[in-house]
Structure 1
Amino acid sequence: MASVTDIGLETAPRTSSRDLQRLRIVPARHPWRVAGTVLAAAIILISLHSVFTNERWGWSVFAEYFFSEPVLAGLGRTLQLTAVSAVIGFILGGLLAFARVSKSPLLSTLSWGYIWLLRSIPLIVLLLVLNNLGYLYATINLGVPFTEIMWAQFDTVQTLSPFAVAVIGLSLNQAAFSSEIIRGGILSVDQGQHEAAAALGLSRWRQAVHIVLPQAMRAILPSGFNEIIGLAKATSIVYVLALPELFYTVQVIYRRNLEVIPLLMVATVWYLIIMVVLSAFQYLIEQYYSRGARREALPPLVDKLFRIISRKAPEVASAAPVSVVADRKPLAGFESGRIGGEVAIHGVNKSFGTLKVLDDIDLTVGSGEVVAIIGPSGAGKSTLLRTINHLERVNTGLVAIDSELIGYERRGDALYELKEPAIRRRRAGVGMVFQNFNLFPHLTALENVVEAPISVAGVPREQALASGRDLLARVGLADKADVYPRHLSGGQQQRVAIARALALRPKVLLFDEPTSALDPELVGEVLDVIKELAKSGTTLVIVTHEIGFAREVADRIVFMEAGRILEIAAPERLFSAPTHHRTREFLAKVL
């Protein structure tokens, strides 16, 4: 066999770490990068030299008209059109987007029809039609349709000035395109965020404005600002209305003095300045909405600006996990002896298309009882849990908390389905901790905890903040109150989720696989908190694969398979002497 020296290699001498520290580090060289950079710089310099030394560009004429009164007046009108049309267009576009994703077939269809129509009509055609609207309708009448009752009447031609026509046309056109951008942003928000907000009992408006839109903004902003920049340039098309905005003003001037190129450069440079300002605003706003989504700190200048605006700076903490406080005191407001709610499930069936996931489920969970639901994947465990707080609507059957139906109201011999606000009020008594945490990423840990008490229960903000800090302290996260979820470990995030669920003092607490998304070494953090809750008197229903934990904490174990409950028993009996053969087979594999 050939040795190392036989093939021309020598054994490297052994070197101590102290000797290595003295060695000079030579960076890798990238000659093609340098060559490309030099070539690009040369092309730019040659181009600039050609532009600024060619007298035909007419820089003296450019300087004469750049700050001239007509140009500045046209610039002001361009900025005014852009700002007003952008605001109106995006507000209308937001309403159209929410209508498009709503559950109302009428609103969704009307929104789709508007978007389809306005995206089909060229902007110049729309402006000309609006400008000639007086030919179709001589007056604009305000009153009761199909009656002689009239409150006011306006002359169409006098009311719709060229500026008004431009604003209306640009806004209507902008709304059609911005609505699709906003809808795309809304659809980009994870469904778990909608479910978490609904489980907390937040109103539809609160969900949309405070939970969904702030997260959607990260997807909306790049395309949205692209539309605004396009709108600023599209204002030049209103020259067909003889409205003296920037481009029309420049046209008028160069038709008189025939200095076409210098005047076009005047307009070009002003458009460039507008783009630079809009791009700077875009950067700042994107940084603001990325606070909970980035691991690195904000740039110092941006951070200082946000301090001035919000009077506080977003804190960024290390993502390293911290251990649970060993001597954690009993959970605030959930001391031993608290009376939990009774959960009664009667004849519940649930299907997704042809797939039946719950089959005639009957289960009663007593007040203060801890019930663990186990079984193979696809058994229907999580779906059953979600029917308890009406996140999943059953096909047939009823679910009641303390004899009160969450989704229905009894009137005589009939059950009437409740509307969403009433369902939210009843759902507030049922807390839920999700498998994937579903914390709101744009809110800090403390803001996650106090969101529902403030907006649902009407708790004064200062009181909610004090209670929220206390809850976080009792789950071992007192020092993480102002940290965003992304900067927390999985175990820490789940403990924040538990504190959030406890903030409304629910009678029943639901856990959907609370440890399945965690690393094994983090599981103990969460299970310790649940064990304490199990002693508090709150009714707990836990879907789990942690068989040892279920055995230790549960009063009863429910075994499910194929959408059916096959066996219910106390832990000691079910684990030692299961009666159903499928329970025995399942336990033989997992124990």
Structure 2
Amino acid sequence: MTAATLPRVDGVQRGARAGATGYVVVPARYPARTVGSVIAGILIVAVGWSVLGNPRWGWPVFAQWFLAEPVIVGLGRTLLLTALGTVFGFTLGTALALARVSGSPLLAGVSWSYIWLFRSIPLIVLLLLLNNLGYLYTTISVGVPFTGINLFSYSTTELISPFAAAVLGLTLNQAAFSSEIIRGGILSVDQGQHEAAGALGLPRRRRIFGIILPQAMRTILPSGFNEIIGLAKGTSVVYILALPELFYTVQVIYRRNLDVVPLLMVATVWYLIILTALSLVQRRIERHYARGTTRDAARSRSRPPITAPKPVAPPRPVPFTRGGEIVIDDVSKAFGDLPVLDGISLTCPAGSVTAILGQSGSGKSTLLRTINHLERVDAGVVAVDGELIGYRRDGHVLYELKERDILRRRTGIGMVFQNFNLFPHMTALENIVEAPVAVQGLSREEAEARARDLLARVGLADKADVYPRHLSGGQQQRVAIARALALRPKVLLFDEPTSALDPELVGEVLDVIKELARSGTTLVIVTHEIGFAREVADTIVFLDAGRVVETGPPDQVLTTPRHPRTAEFLSKVL
């Protein structure tokens, strides 16, 4: 069939160009959409003509009052109430949300009670109660309870003015609703992010405000801005306090000149302008917190341009780090009635490489997590270079350390997770820099220099400014290894480092681990890669049902296992 005889579609001849070998793609047509668009256009024109062409709307009166001084003053008060209610409400709401998710039952109970109470009370009732607080308490005093010592005392009616009552009421009401929005955002962050931040030894404050809340913001923002927009409109309720905000000012004017509709339109248009401004701010903030979560190159400075693939740079030798000796003594752990670890005792010499094998559910990952105290043990102890992790020994009594002391000791134990657990809102460089700056107090410049050197050592020098989402699985795992190395730990733990990777990506991660095995750092690796374990490990540990069934050199355990359970397992995987 020649070009002249090719079929035509909607007047376009496929392959009509001389020598063309492709096809012209004709998009599908949707007549219903066209009809709907025409109807929508007609409705817009009709509504616009009805509103602008009807003299009873009183547009000259609208124009007269739209920028009038009383209206602008009332608008300013509305904006001020909205701003104060937002700042104070969300600040208090954040504290309430953190209390709800804290480990203190009393704090969580108080927070829940506050939320229950102030979500139940209508805002207009709350404003009236606060405005009449002087009837219940003639003075407000601050002092030492039960001693009669007062630091200062004020008359309630002087302290709680109508404006103060409005700000306080809006704040208390807003905090109750915003706290649940913030709590929902916190709960939406993957648990792995909490564990990764804890494994790096980041202080609680830094974990919350640097890692968890920035990720939670993507969930918080849409509902949070709905609350702010509702607050902007809800300020009209303070008319009950005779406070001249925008709506009250408009009411006063139209009661005098009886031009009700034009004055209501003045308020309506100003509220529309406020809503539009808040929507634009919301969009900008959402784009800021969407960093690293989109593949749209226009929105992310981290996505590199599409170019010809470059050869993968081989990893450079990892700097020597003196390893630490790990001693696990009679450790047991159960989740409820399910025993996971049962009296495990194990020693990993300094600078050794230990591979832990076993079927799923045998306790491998749990054992690994007890080494850096991500899992508390029910019995037994774990020590690195003679220093207990998580506890202080006094004779035969163990006292659990406070969190800051646990975090300090944990910095000597790096951990690489099965699912990487990189912080998605940070670039590869920022992921690595975070802990040295926040935990070790390094300057930003020194931490960045260390981070760039580590990226070069794992073959990712050109990926410093790339977000995790734009990296392959193997690259993400190598960044995770570099992040763990940034604190220069004595012990490095790997939890199934290749199980989440495609087979083609496994090799690049294993090459880095092999290099680490020669660096002097003590490695403990939970893995299913039998060949890798044979090549890199000094000792193989086989777990079954939470017990150490067999341990020994790779050649002995993998070739001539002594225990029948080990032999049965290997016969299925080799």
TM-score over 0.5 (shorter chain): yes
Q: CA deviation at 1:114?
A: 0.5
Q: CA deviation at 1:17?
A: 11
Tell me whether 1:345 sits opposite 2:333 in the alignment. no
- For residues 417 and 533 of structure 2, the distance between their equivalents in structure 1, rounded to whole angstroms, comes to 17
1:409 corresponds in structure 2 to 392
Judge which range, 477-486 or 289-298, deviates more: 289-298
- For residues 323 and 586 of structure 1, the distance between their equivalents in structure 2, rounded to whole angstroms, comes to 39
Q: CA deviation at 1:155?
A: 1.0
Give 3-state SS (helix, strand or coil) of 1:298's partner: helix
Identity %: 68
* Distance verdict in 2 for CA 1:545–1:16, change over 3 Å: farther
Within the candidate set 313, 335, 360, 1:325 is matched to 313
- For residues 60 and 271 of structure 1, the distance between their equivalents in structure 2, rounded to whole angstroms, comes to 20
- For residues 113 and 407 of structure 2, the distance between their equivalents in structure 1, rounded to whole angstroms, comes to 32
2:461 corresponds in structure 1 to 478
User: Does the Cα contact within 8 Å between 1:287 and 1:298 map onto a contact in 2?
Assistant: no
- For residues 322 and 127 of structure 1, the distance between their equivalents in structure 2, rounded to whole angstroms, comes to 65
Q: CA deviation at 1:20?
A: 4.0
Q: CA deviation at 1:15?
A: 8.5
Tell me whether 1:100 sits opposite 2:83 in the alignment. no
2:426 corresponds in structure 1 to 443
- For residues 550 and 490 of structure 2, the distance between their equivalents in structure 1, rounded to whole angstroms, comes to 26
- For residues 506 and 352 of structure 1, the distance between their equivalents in structure 2, rounded to whole angstroms, comes to 29
1:563 corresponds in structure 2 to 546
Tell me whether 1:492 sits opposite 2:492 in the alignment. no
Judge which range, 410-419 or 84-93, deviates more: 410-419
Superposed, 1:396-545 pairs within 5 Å as: 396-545=379-528
User: Does the Cα contact within 8 Å between 1:347 and 1:361 map onto a contact in 2?
Assistant: yes
Aligned partner of 1:396: which letter? Answer: A
Superposed, 1:179-218 pairs within 5 Å as: 179-218=179-218
- For residues 446 and 93 of structure 2, the distance between their equivalents in structure 1, rounded to whole angstroms, comes to 37
Q: CA deviation at 1:25?
A: 4.3
Q: CA deviation at 1:330?
A: 1.1
1:7 corresponds in structure 2 to none
Give 3-state SS (helix, strand or coil) of 1:557's partner: strand
Q: CA deviation at 1:68?
A: 0.6
Gaps of 5+ in 2: 1-6, 8-13
Q: What is the root-mean-square deviation of aligned Cα atoms in Å?
A: 1.7
Q: CA deviation at 1:410?
A: 1.6
Gaps of 5+ in 1: 1-9, 304-313
Aligned partner of 2:316: which letter? Answer: K
- For residues 23 and 578 of structure 1, the distance between their equivalents in structure 2, rounded to whole angstroms, comes to 63
- For residues 221 and 86 of structure 1, the distance between their equivalents in structure 2, rounded to whole angstroms, comes to 13
* Distance verdict in 2 for CA 1:319–1:159, change over 3 Å: farther
Deviations 1:397-421 (A, max 9, x none): 1000011101111224422110100
Within the candidate set 359, 362, 367, 2:350 is matched to 367
Superposed, 1:102-251 pairs within 5 Å as: 102-251=102-251
- For residues 24 and 137 of structure 1, the distance between their equivalents in structure 2, rounded to whole angstroms, comes to 81
- For residues 377 and 319 of structure 1, the distance between their equivalents in structure 2, rounded to whole angstroms, comes to 40
User: Does the Cα contact within 8 Å between 2:15 and 2:23 map onto a contact in 1?
Assistant: no
User: Does the Cα contact within 8 Å between 1:318 and 1:487 map onto a contact in 2?
Assistant: no
Tell me whether 1:577 sits opposite 2:560 in the alignment. yes
Deviations 1:380-402 (A, max 9, x none): 10000000000000111100001
Deviations 1:331-372 (A, max 9, x none): 1xx33xx42100000111111111111111111000001000
User: Does the Cα contact within 8 Å between 1:324 and 1:475 map onto a contact in 2?
Assistant: no
Superposed, 1:20-59 pairs within 5 Å as: 20-21=20-21, 24-59=24-59
Q: CA deviation at 1:147?
A: 2.3
Q: CA deviation at 1:460?
A: 1.2
2:369 corresponds in structure 1 to 386
1:4 corresponds in structure 2 to none
Q: CA deviation at 1:454?
A: 0.5
* Distance verdict in 2 for CA 1:431–1:240, change over 3 Å: same
- For residues 476 and 523 of structure 2, the distance between their equivalents in structure 1, rounded to whole angstroms, comes to 20
Q: So what's the TM-score if we normalise by structure 1?
A: 0.93
Q: CA deviation at 1:377?
A: 0.6
User: Does the Cα contact within 8 Å between 2:15 and 2:21 map onto a contact in 1?
Assistant: no
Give 3-state SS (helix, strand or coil) of 1:315's partner: coil
Q: CA deviation at 1:201?
A: 0.2
Deviations 1:526-555 (A, max 9, x none): 000000000111100000000000000000
Give 3-state SS (helix, strand or coil) of 1:361's partner: strand
User: Does the Cα contact within 8 Å between 2:239 and 2:245 map onto a contact in 1?
Assistant: yes
Deviations 1:94-137 (A, max 9, x none): 00000100001111111111001110111111100000000011
1:85 corresponds in structure 2 to 85
- For residues 18 and 350 of structure 1, the distance between their equivalents in structure 2, rounded to whole angstroms, comes to 76
- For residues 239 and 199 of structure 1, the distance between their equivalents in structure 2, rounded to whole angstroms, comes to 53
Number of residues paired by the alignment?
A: 561
Q: So what's the TM-score if we normalise by structure 2?
A: 0.95
Q: CA deviation at 1:297?
A: 2.2
Aligned partner of 2:573: which letter? Answer: V
- For residues 227 and 564 of structure 1, the distance between their equivalents in structure 2, rounded to whole angstroms, comes to 53
Give 3-state SS (helix, strand or coil) of 2:440's partner: coil
Deviations 1:459-499 (A, max 9, x none): 11101100100000010000000110000000000000000
Aligned partner of 1:390: which letter? Answer: H
Q: CA deviation at 1:151?
A: 2.1
* Distance verdict in 2 for CA 1:523–1:322, change over 3 Å: farther
User: Does the Cα contact within 8 Å between 1:339 and 1:368 map onto a contact in 2?
Assistant: yes
Q: CA deviation at 1:144?
A: 1.6
Aligned partner of 1:510: which letter? Answer: L
- For residues 200 and 283 of structure 1, the distance between their equivalents in structure 2, rounded to whole angstroms, comes to 33
* Distance verdict in 2 for CA 1:419–1:318, change over 3 Å: farther
1:589 corresponds in structure 2 to 572
